[in-house]
Amino acid sequence: MCGVVGLFQGCPAVSFCPARLRPDRTDRAQDPDPDAGTSAPAPAPGAGDGGAAGEEPYRSPFRTWYERASVRQAPRRLVTAADGGVATFFPPALVPLASHRLVRDLGPAAYEQVLVQHLYRYLDFTAKLEYLVVNRTALGIAHGSVDLGLPREMRLDALKIYCDEAYHTLMTVDLLEQITDRTRIAPRLPEEPYFLRRLAAIQESTEPELRPLVELLFVIVSETLITGSLSAIPRDQELLPQIRDTIQDHASDEGRHHAYFALFARHLWGALDTRTRRWAALRLPGLIHTFLDPDLDSMREELLGYGMPKDSVEQVLAEVFTSAGVQAYARSSAETTVRHFAALGVLEDPEAREAFDRQGLLPPAGPARASSAPAPDPADPVTRRAP
Ligand SMILES: [Fe+2]
Ligand SMILES: [Fe+2]
């Protein structure tokens, strides 16, 4: 539609082009990449090795997409009344609130609601992340308004991501509605997930020309964290099969997205000048926490809704989400993401390294040489992704 009406005039996707940040923008505009479709851009002047997509040919993670993508081959996961009388709606071990004695003391009916509400939060978070944030970037890459001189095939692959994320939105909203019908438990969801409010606040405090870059960085972060986030749940055999299968469908697609956005990060870094790279490096820790930190407001409202006294609610939140636990979880979940950025030289800047360290994202022994053993999780990534 927008390609016909107004030829994209006023299309929000056009407005987030980081090309204006590049010192070589004019030259590139006059001299389109002759190798489009086969190679990545050279690093920006003064960029060191950072942008390091180098001259490698693009090897698409989507070579089997038409055969394997969920949107192409997965059946609708249909919840029926006959399914799993004993199955759970979310693994209790992965629901932070469910671990607290005062929550268990609410009784079996409220306890089940806590699990179901956690599923709702996870699904709502996922849907809104996909269609309100990630797909804006996918569209921008495909359309070329995120102008990094990407190989033609990489832009085409962005359309596959666009299709994937649209389908992920559909299947998560569909599942949420089916579970609502099945359980008769109404969702207690905030109008806007916390991560969107935090992202908006960061955008507002950023000078306008750098706001598009904030969103690109956030998408790289979210797409490289997400695979780990989705990996635990499909193994849970107690879970309602349709929930497990939906999350498995999603996880298999996100493996390809992770590979794509790790490469995209290299292209982006290579297109930024040294000053902008430094600016971006200093904001990455905050963006990682924007994605991972728990939505305390939403959980506070939920617990109050069960009739729990205010003091008890605050006690539960303080004891479940200790700052040490939140940091350990973030460090563990972001390990791969931090490693991707470390490979771009992000941690070579002492101030940036200090920012990562201060926000608990580096292991005590050193930078991106994160330990192979993840820190103990106070809650599973999926659960912490949801709140
Ligand atoms: Fe997705
Ligand atoms: Fe994705």
For residue 217, give the CATH number of its domain.
1.10.620.20
Angstrom distances, CA of residue 46 to CA of 56, 148, 346, 350: 20, 17, 14, 18
Does residue 93 sit within a domain?
A: no
Ligand 1 centroid to Cα of residue 167, in Å, is: 8
Name the closest ligand to CA 255. Answer: 2
Q: Hey, what are 342's tokens?
A: 């470390």
Residues paired with residue 239 on neighbouring β-strands, in sequence order: 88
Per-residue pLDDT tens over the stretch 351-365? 999 999 999 999 876
- For the cut 90, the answer to whether the pLDDT of residue 300 exceeds it is yes
pLDDT of residue 54: 52
- b (16+ CB within 10 A) / e for 351-382: ebbebbbebbbbbeeebbebeeeebebbbbbb
Rounded Cα–Cα distance for residues 84 and 93 (Å): 19
Ligand 2 centroid to Cα of residue 165, in Å, is: 6
Ligand 1 centroid to Cα of residue 175, in Å, is: 15
- For the cut 80, the answer to whether the pLDDT of residue 11 exceeds it is no
Does residue 335 sit within a domain?
A: yes
The number of domains in the chain is 1
> Range of 357's domain?
100-385
CB 155 within 8 A of CB 264: no
Per-residue pLDDT tens over the stretch 240-260? 999 999 999 999 999 999 999
Does residue 7 sit within a domain?
A: no
Ligand 2 centroid to Cα of residue 345, in Å, is: 25
CB 87 within 8 A of CB 376: no
- For the cut 80, the answer to whether the pLDDT of residue 216 exceeds it is yes
Does residue 64 sit within a domain?
A: no
Name the closest ligand to CA 257. Answer: 2
Does residue 42 sit within a domain?
A: no
pLDDT of residue 139: 96
- For the cut 80, the answer to whether the pLDDT of residue 310 exceeds it is yes
More confident call, 201 vs 21: 201
Ligand 2 centroid to Cα of residue 311, in Å, is: 39
pLDDT of residue 235: 73
More confident call, 217 vs 84: 217
More confident call, 1 vs 241: 241
Does residue 61 sit within a domain?
A: no
Ligand 1 centroid to Cα of residue 226, in Å, is: 8
Does residue 279 sit within a domain?
A: yes
The residue-averaged pLDDT of 321-344 equals: 93
pLDDT of residue 134: 97
Does residue 56 sit within a domain?
A: no
